Amino acid sequence: MGILLSLRRRRPRTPQPSFTRIVPGANGSQGKTTATGSVSPPSVTRRPEAPPENRRSKYAYIPDTFTSIEEVTNALREAGLKSTNLILGIDFTKSNEWTGMESFNKQSLHAIGSTPNPYEKAIEIVGRALAPFDDDHLIPCFGFGDTTTHDEGVFSFHDDHRPCDGFEEVLACYKGIVPHVKLSGPTSFGPIIEAATDIVEESGGQYHVLVIIADGQVTRSSDTEEGHLSKQEQDTINAIVSASSHALSIVLVGVGDGPWEDMRKFDDKIPQRDFDNFQFVNFTSIMAKNVSDPEKEAAFAVTALMEIPFQYKAVKEFHILGQRTGKARRIIPRPPPLPSARLPRPTGSPTEIAADGSTQVCPICLTNAKDLAFGCGHMTCRECGNSLMTCPICRRPIMDRIRVYL
Give the C-alpha distances (Å, rounded to integers) separating 254 from 109, 207, 226, 233: 11, 23, 25, 17
Check whether 44 has a pLDDT greater than 50. Answer: no
Per-residue confidence (pLDDT) for residue 259, from 0 to 100: 82
Per-residue confidence (pLDDT) for residue 336, from 0 to 100: 95
311 class by beta-carbon count within 10 Å (0-12 exposed, 13-18 middle, 19+ buried): buried
Report how far residue 76's alpha carbon sits from residue 150's, in angstroms, rounded to the nearest whole number.
Answer: 36
The band of 18, judged by pLDDT with boundaries at 50, 70 and 90, is very low
Per-residue confidence (pLDDT) for residue 141, from 0 to 100: 98
Report how far residue 304's alpha carbon sits from residue 300's, in angstroms, rounded to the nearest whole number.
Answer: 6
Per-residue confidence (pLDDT) for residue 216, from 0 to 100: 82
Comparing 93-97, 209-213, 322-326, the range with the smallest average pLDDT is 322-326
For residue range 287-332, list pLDDT tens digits in order.
Answer: 999 988 888 888 898 888 888 889 999 999 999 999 998 877 778 9
Check whether 71 has a pLDDT greater than 90. Answer: no
Per-residue confidence (pLDDT) for residue 406, from 0 to 100: 61
Per-residue confidence (pLDDT) for residue 360, from 0 to 100: 78
Buried b / exposed e over 11-43, threshold 16 CB at 10 Å, is eeeeeeeebeeeeebeeeebbbeeeeeeeeebe
What is the average pLDDT across 185-206? 96
* SS3 call for 48: coil
The band of 25, judged by pLDDT with boundaries at 50, 70 and 90, is very low
**Which one-letter amino acid corresponds to residue 181?**
V
Q: Which of 148, 268, 280, 288 is nearest to 212 (CA)?
A: 280
* SS3 call for 153: coil
Mean pLDDT of the chain: 79
Q: Crossing angle of helices 308-317/69-78, nearest 10°? A: 10
229 class by beta-carbon count within 10 Å (0-12 exposed, 13-18 middle, 19+ buried): middle
303 class by beta-carbon count within 10 Å (0-12 exposed, 13-18 middle, 19+ buried): buried
402: left (phi over 0), alpha (psi -120 to 50) or beta: beta
* SS3 call for 331: coil
pTM: 0.71
Report how far residue 57's alpha carbon sits from residue 318's, in angstroms, rounded to the nearest whole number.
Answer: 12
For residue range 241-266, list pLDDT tens digits in order.
Answer: 999 999 999 999 999 998 888 777 76
Comparing 34-48, 72-86, 321-335, 386-400, the range with the smallest average pLDDT is 34-48
Report how far residue 236's alpha carbon sits from residue 218's, in angstroms, rounded to the nearest whole number.
Answer: 8
Whether residue 205 contacts residue 323, with contact meaning beta carbons closer than 8 Å, is answered with yes
Check whether 24 has a pLDDT greater than 60. Answer: no
Whether residue 194 contacts residue 331, with contact meaning beta carbons closer than 8 Å, is answered with yes
The band of 11, judged by pLDDT with boundaries at 50, 70 and 90, is very low
Higher pLDDT, 80 or 277: 277
Per-residue confidence (pLDDT) for residue 58, from 0 to 100: 52
Comparing 10-24, 188-202, 389-403, the range with the smallest average pLDDT is 10-24
Per-residue confidence (pLDDT) for residue 361, from 0 to 100: 81
Check whether 358 has a pLDDT greater than 50. Answer: no
Beta partners for residue 211, in sequence order? 88, 251
Dump the DSSP string for 352-402.
HHHHTSGGGB-TTTSSSBP-EEETTS-EE-HHHHTT-SB-TTT--B---EE
Check whether 353 has a pLDDT greater than 60. Answer: no
Note the Cα 217 to chain centre separation in Å. 11
The band of 380, judged by pLDDT with boundaries at 50, 70 and 90, is confident
What is the average pLDDT across 372-395? 80
Per-residue confidence (pLDDT) for residue 83, from 0 to 100: 80
Per-residue confidence (pLDDT) for residue 267, from 0 to 100: 60
